[in-house]
Amino acid sequence: MLSRRTLIFSGLSVAALGGAVYGLWPRLGKYWDEVERQRQLLSSNPELEGFVRMATLAANGHNSQPWKFRINPTDVSILPDFSRRTQVVDPDDHHLFVSLGCAAENFTIAAAAHGQTADVRVFGGGPETAVNIALQPGATQETSLYKAIPLRQSTRSDFDGKSVTAAEIDLLTAAAREDGVSVLIFTDTTQREAILEFVVEGNSAQMDDPAFVAELRQWLRFNPRQALATKDGLFSACTGNPVVPGWMGDAMFDVFFTKDGENDKYSKHIRSSAGIAVFIGDREDPEHWIKVGRSFQLFALQATVLGIRNAHLNMPIEVPSLRPEFARWLGIPDMRPDLIVRFGRAPALPMSLRRPVSEVVI
Ligand X SMILES: Cc1cc2nc3c(=O)[nH]c(=O)nc-3n(C[C@H](O)[C@H](O)[C@H](O)COP(=O)(O)O)c2cc1C
Q: Are 50 and 247 in contact (CB under 8 A)?
A: no
Cβ burial of 349 (10 Å; 0-12, 13-18, 19+) is: buried
| Distance of closest approach, residue 315 Cβ to ligand X, in angstroms | 7
| Distance of closest approach, residue 360 Cβ to ligand X, in angstroms | 14
CA distances from 178 to 2, 291, 296 (A): 6, 7, 9
Which listed range, 162-170, 192-200, 268-276, 308-316, lies at the site for ligand X (CB under 6 A)?
A: 308-316
Number of residues engaging ligand X in binding (CB under 6 A): 17
- Alpha-carbon span 181 to 6, nearest angstrom: 20
Which residue in the set 18, 46, 50, 61 belongs to the binding site for ligand X (CB under 6 A)?
A: 61
Please report whether residue 273 would count as binding ligand X according to CB under 6 A: no
The DSSP code sequence of 278-295 is: EEEESSSSHHHHHHHHHH
| Distance of closest approach, residue 241 Cβ to ligand X, in angstroms | 12
Please report whether residue 60 would count as binding ligand X according to CB under 6 A: yes
- Alpha-carbon span 85 to 95, nearest angstrom: 9
- Looking at beta carbons only, is 53 or 312 nearer to ligand X? 312
The footprint of ligand X on residues 136-165 (CB under 6 A) is: 153-154, 156
- Alpha-carbon span 16 to 361, nearest angstrom: 31
β-strand partners of 118 = 135
Which residue in the set 314, 343, 344, 345 belongs to the binding site for ligand X (CB under 6 A)?
A: 314
Please report whether residue 294 would count as binding ligand X according to CB under 6 A: no
| Distance of closest approach, residue 115 Cβ to ligand X, in angstroms | 26
- Alpha-carbon span 63 to 220, nearest angstrom: 10
Which residue in the set 76, 151, 205, 234 belongs to the binding site for ligand X (CB under 6 A)?
A: 234
Which region, left, alpha or beta, applies to residue 233 given φ > 0 means left and ψ of -120 to 50 means alpha?
left
Which listed range, 93-101, 118-126, 258-266, 272-280, lies at the site for ligand X (CB under 6 A)?
A: 93-101
The single-letter DSSP state of residue 213 is H
- Alpha-carbon span 92 to 85, nearest angstrom: 10
Which residue in the set 130, 290, 298, 311 belongs to the binding site for ligand X (CB under 6 A)?
A: 311
The distance of Cα 341 from the centroid of its chain, to the nearest Å, equals 9
| Distance of closest approach, residue 77 Cβ to ligand X, in angstroms | 19
- Alpha-carbon span 29 to 237, nearest angstrom: 13
Which residue in the set 200, 352, 353, 360 belongs to the binding site for ligand X (CB under 6 A)?
A: 352
Please report whether residue 132 would count as binding ligand X according to CB under 6 A: no
Which listed range, 26-34, 77-85, 98-106, 274-282, lies at the site for ligand X (CB under 6 A)?
A: 98-106
The distance in angstroms from the start CA to the end CA of the chain is 32
- Alpha-carbon span 358 to 278, nearest angstrom: 35
| Distance of closest approach, residue 299 Cβ to ligand X, in angstroms | 11
Please report whether residue 312 would count as binding ligand X according to CB under 6 A: yes
- Looking at beta carbons only, is 59 or 227 nearer to ligand X? 59
Please report whether residue 195 would count as binding ligand X according to CB under 6 A: no
| Distance of closest approach, residue 202 Cβ to ligand X, in angstroms | 9
Largest Cα span, the chain: 56
Report the C-alpha dihedral over residues 171, 349, 199, 314, rounded to 10 degrees.
70
- Looking at beta carbons only, is 212 or 329 nearer to ligand X? 212
- Looking at beta carbons only, is 108 or 314 nearer to ligand X? 314
Q: Length of the chain, please?
A: 362
List contacts with ligand X (CB under 6 A).
59-63, 95, 98-99, 102, 153-154, 156, 234, 311-312, 314, 352
